[in-house]
Structure 1
Amino acid sequence: MSSNIQTYRYDFRSDTLTKPTPAMLEAMINAQVGDDVYKEDPTIIQLEAYAAKLTGKEAAVFCASSTMSNQIAVRSHIITPPCSVICDDRAHIHRYEAGGMALFSQATTYSIHPKNKVYITAEEIKSNIIPYGDEHFPPTRLIEIENTLGGSIMPLEEMKKIYELAQSKDIPVHLDGARLWNVCAATQTDMKLWTSQVDSVNLCLSKGIGAPVGAILAGSSKFIERARLFRKMMGGGWRQAGVLAAAALVAIETIWPRMADDHRRAKELSEGLLKLGIPTIIPTDTNMVMADTSKVGLDVKKLSEECLKHGVKIRDSAPNMIRFVLHHQIEDEAIQIVLDSAKKTLNSQ
């Protein structure tokens, strides 16, 4: 039987494309497991306790994915639907989670196009909050923020302003911190500094830190108790999942400390593209380069074909923009291949 699966030396499409390291695989083989639904899997218990400590929250729960984690978070915060959630227009919960919020939480989103084109502000959120009392509009029951978003960091000071506003309105704040690992690595700060400004946080384990599967949802004990109910409802009672938790623990220990290299390479790629006349749409703060190819009329499809000749896969679905995502299995060589390919493509047009 033939396979349609193709392999590449380097893949810039996403940091979800990493393969488990030998250390992760070894940990999975040797993992101590039990039944997680009965709260008897020791490796999951270890991971959840560690995540709660990292985030400074009372409790945490291991989920199958960031989408599941985010959807559980929204549903756990929203006690009495229908209502609305304020978020960035580019937010994952708004655009990339298959409309789950409408189905699971009976909620709609009021999305904001940030004026600074990088992150939403407390001022913008304040003007979009819908109070209870007008039967025409679903009241705001949750504020959701994302950090990073497109690889750019929302400043801590802005998060503080948003949280202060939310607390004054008695509205909880959920952080989609799928790549909060990158924020901490780039700023050399303690994770609790960021998570102290939200009521709940999602941490992806299968993106930048390279674990094969999973995400963490952290919050208060009461919140996580409710979250476990919805996790079970959504099919997340996954029994002997300690084999996956074991890989995640190794990823946090071994890959997170190396994340600065991803950011360095992203900066080098961003600067190299700029020299070719290709700027970025938003700042390259961490591991993503959002390149605007329209300035030089670069043919993205042709660039993709040129990169493939050298074993490099890039996104080519948008005609005027490329999202390059760096991770620990992309090396310095790959950056030069992309830059050389872009130069050759431009010269041939």
Structure 2
Amino acid sequence: MTEFELPPKYITAANDLRSDTFTTPTPEMMQAALEASIGDAVYGEDVDTVRLEQTVARMAAKEAGLFCVSGTLSNQIAIRTHLTQPPYSILCDYRAHVYTHEAAGLAILSQAMVVPVIPSNGDYLTLEDIKSHYVPDDGDIHGAPTRLISLENTLHGIVYPLEELVRIKAWCMENGLKLHCDGARIWNAAAQSGVPLKQYGEIFDSISICLSKSMGAPIGSVLVGNLKFIKKATHFRKQQGGGIRQSGMMARMALVNINNDWKSQLLYSHSLAHELAEFCETKGIPLESPADTNFVFINLKAARMDPDVLVKKGLKYNVKLMGGRVSFHYQVTRDTLEKVKLAISEAFDYAKEHPFDCNGPTQIYRSESTEVDVDGNAIREIKTYKY
């Protein structure tokens, strides 16, 4: 794999590994936005928005798609659409984004009880995990019957095995349950596994397909499903304030990468993560999960590493990190990878002499080492390298 060449002014993300959402629009995307349609998307009259929705829906073998401003919105309205008459519950992985990082949306928007499950294999839920936590609709008035299974692909960078998804789907059909996929990084899963989006679409009743994570678009997700489902989801999108007007500019920018060689871009980012994972294993630095795709999760608790020390070590080498989750994307350079290795190695060595008490919650999405400086609209980095 080779790096993807971009003019220097657009490579603000080359040293940013906080998330694969930190990619910046390319010149081709910027030009595409200038040429986009400017119809009213709320009324379904914007050509480029409709083109994006139909393109992604066809790729996922679904009848229709709905452009949403974020994966959080598309996930939450998908779940709300699947659920009808309470009481009901949904079942998901205990680490699932819909459960842990969407601001209690399931409780507030769907009033659903959530059954978070810890995978018995440590990586992904199996059918046996689901069966052992399933709440049947058997007439017992004390329970909230399971109506929906929500899975994430990838989760912690792990590609969900296709054969397990097929088993779960068959069981859901037998028991009248809906199956939703948080496909925030389903492009990564498709690229790494060789399983096309169409095949995933045949398994799930709905998929939230992100356009910004790894794919490089500045904003948005497309929710796909059948026509009846998307029509109702459109209603909930409007209710939640997600109905936007001239979204053609954003849609056209997203189509740039979708219509280009996105697989090569993603596989390049995966190769960087694989190399970092091998480096950590060689150094004896424990990892939380297999690095199947573009993520490396350092087990900070097992390593007794202070996440803030790790962030500061990154800043020492002009690399932006955020806790133990190291996220690669196609605009990260190999030079940045080498700097990340140095930062992680030094933080690990520091932890050996100064073990960190990790009994509290592990910081992943924030750190004390960066804050916003409104003067100049920039990120001010606190460079106090006493470590």
- Normalised to the residue count of structure 1, the TM-score between the two structures is 0.93
- 1:190 Cα deviation (Å)? 1.3
1:46 and 2:48 matched: no
In structure 2, the partner of 1:78 is 83
Aligned to 1:333: 335
2:259 is paired with a residue of what secondary structure?
helix
CA contact (8 A) 2:68 2:242 kept: yes
Q: Cα–Cα, structure 1 residues 221 and 305, in superposed 2: closer, same or farther, change >3 Å?
A: same
CA distance 1:39–1:118, change in 2 (3 Å): same
Query: 1:27 aligns to what SS in structure 2?
Result: helix
Q: Report whether the alignment pairs 1:212 with 2:218.
A: yes
Q: Deviation at 1:73?
A: 0.4
Residue 336 (structure 1) shift? 0.6
Deviations 1:201-241 (A, max 9, x none): 00011111011110010001111111111111111110111
Aligned partners of 2:13 and 2:24 also within 8 Å = no
What TM-score do you get using the length of structure 2 for normalisation? 0.84
1:3 maps to: none
Letter in 2 for 1:78: L
Classify the secondary structure of the residue corresponding to 2:135. coil
Give the Cα–Cα distance (whole angstroms) in 1 for the partners of residues 305 and 89 of structure 2.
40
In structure 1, what is the equivalent of residue 385 of structure 2?
A: none
Q: Displacement, 1:157?
A: 0.5
Q: For residue 241 of structure 1, what is the amino acid of its counterpart?
A: S
Distance 1:42 1:305, change over 3 A: same
Gaps of 5+ in 1: 1-6, 317-321
Match of 1:312 in 2: 319
Q: Distance in 2 between matches of 1:90 and 1:215?
A: 20
Taking the TM superposition and a 5 Å limit, the aligned residue runs for 1:173-252 are 173-252=179-258
Residues 159 and 193, structure 2, Cα contact 8 Å, conserved in 1: no
Residue 118 of structure 1 aligns with which residue? Answer: 123
Compared with structure 1, are the counterparts of its residues 184 and 342 closer, same or farther at alpha carbon in structure 2 (3 Å cutoff)? same
Residue 266 (structure 1) aligns with: 273
Partner Cα distance (1:9, 1:253) in 2: 23
Identity between Structure 1 and Structure 2 (%) = 42
Residue type at the aligned position of 1:272: F
Task: Note the alpha carbon deviations across 1:49-102, whole angstroms, 9 max, x for none.
Answer: 101110001111001100000011011101212210011111111111111111
**Alignment match, 1:4:** none
Contact 1:11 1:330 survives alignment (8 Å):
yes
Q: Give how far 1:306 is off.
A: 2.3
The secondary structure found in structure 2 opposite 1:127 is: helix
Which amino acid counterpart does residue 154 of structure 1 have in structure 2?
Y
Specify the alignment match of 2:107 in structure 1.
102
Q: Which moved more, 1:76-85 or 1:124-133?
A: 124-133
Where does 1:15-164 land on structure 2 (aligned, <5 Å)? 15-132=20-137, 133-164=139-170
- Name the CA shift for 1:185/1:21 in 2 (closer, same or farther; >3 Å): same
* Residue of structure 1 equivalent to 2:371: none
In structure 1, C-alpha distance between the alignment counterparts of 2:310 and 2:216, rounded to whole Å:
27
The C-alpha deviation readout for 1:168-221, integer Å capped at 9, x for no partner, is 001110011110000011112311112211110000111110111100100011
Q: Distance in 1 between matches of 2:102 and 2:241?
A: 16
Matched AA of 1:43: D
- Alignment partner, residue 308 of structure 2: 301
Secondary structure at the counterpart of residue 121 of structure 2: coil
Amino acid at match of 1:169: N
In the alignment, is the contact (CA less than 8 A) between 1:32 and 1:43 conserved in 2?
yes
Instruction: Please state how far the C-alpha of 1:293 moved relative to its aligned partner.
Output: 4.0
Could you tell me whether the CA contact under 8 Å between 1:210 and 1:255 is conserved in 2? no
Q: Could you tell me whether the CA contact under 8 Å between 1:272 and 1:339 is conserved in 2?
A: yes
Distance in structure 1 (CA, Å) of the matches to 2:224 and 2:77? 11
Q: What is the Cα deviation at residue 111 of structure 1?
A: 1.0
Report how many aligned residue pairs link the two structures: 338
Please say if 1:12 is aligned against 2:14: no
User: What is residue 283 of structure 1 aligned with on the other side?
Assistant: 290
Contact map agreement 1:278 1:293 (CA 8 A) in 2 = no
1:100-148 Cα distance to aligned partner (Å, 9 max, x none)? 1112112111111001110011111112221221111111111111110
CA distance in 1, matches of 2:43, 2:344: 54
Residues 13 and 332, structure 2, Cα contact 8 Å, conserved in 1: no
CA contact (8 A) 1:126 1:165 kept: no
- After superposition, the Cα gap between the structure-2 partners of 1:219 and 1:346, relative to the gap in structure 1 and judged at 3 Å, is closer
Kept in 1, the 8 Å contact 2:188–2:293? The answer is yes
Alpha-carbon offset, residue 294 of structure 1: 4.7
What is the CA distance between 1:297 and its match in structure 2? 4.1
Please point out which of 253, 256, 261 is paired with 2:259: 253
User: Is 172-181 or 131-140 further displaced after alignment?
Assistant: 131-140
Aligned equivalents of 1:65, 1:84: Cα separation in 2: 24
Please give the alpha-carbon distance, in whole angstroms, between the structure 1 residues aligned to 2:35 and 2:170: 45
